Each structure stands twice: as structure tokens, then as C-alpha cells.
């Protein structure tokens, strides 16, 4: 298997995992002072958008198909 096929397989697998597992990432939120002082970590969890997984899967499938057609 050539490099485009390996990269295509990786992108396809990664894209499907993103679509199925729906991972999140953590973003620190700036503290807003309202007069009351409290000490706590302020974090917001945001999901990775679904279009990222779909785009990764489509590009991966295109690379797999392209590497298969080029070989013949």
C-alpha cells in the first residue's frame, strides 16, 4: 500500500471515529468579576463539529479510491 492509501485509511478511520464518538475539547473561559470573589477553574467544553469528521472521511475515501485507480 502506498502513502496516499495509508493516509486515506487513517483519515477515513479518524473521520468515522469523530462522527461516532463525538469528542469534546476544553476551552478556558475568562473570569468575569461581579464583585464576589471565588476561586474555581472556569472551563467550557465544546464538541468537535460534525463537519470535521465528515470532511475527514470524504477526503480519506477519495484518497483510497484515487490510490486504487492509479495502481491499475
Residue 53 pLDDT: 97
Q: Which domain holds residue 32?
A: 3-71
Residue 35 pLDDT: 67
Q: What are phi and psi of 13, to 5 degrees?
A: -65, -45
Residue 17 pLDDT: 97
Residues of the chain with pLDDT under 50: none
Q: What is the model's pTM?
A: 0.76
> 72 - beta bridge partners?
none
E strand or H helix that includes residue 71: helix 50-71
**DSSP class per residue in 3-70:** HHHHHHHHHHHHHHHHHHH--EEEEE------S-------EEEEEPPHHHHHHHHHHHHHHHHHHHHH
Number of domains in the chain: 1
Amino acid at each position: 500500500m502506498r502513502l496516499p492509501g495509508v493516509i486515506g485509511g487513517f483519515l477515513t478511520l479518524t473521520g468515522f471515529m469523530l462522527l461516532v464518538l463525538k469528542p469534546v475539547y476544553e476551552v478556558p473561559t475568562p473570569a468575569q468579576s461581579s464583585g464576589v470573589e471565588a476561586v474555581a477553574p472556569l472551563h467550557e467544553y465544546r464538541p468537535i463539529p460534525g463537519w470535521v469528521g465528515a470532511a475527514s472521511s470524504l477526503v480519506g475515501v477519495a484518497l483510497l479510491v484515487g490510490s486504487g485507480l492509479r495502481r491499475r
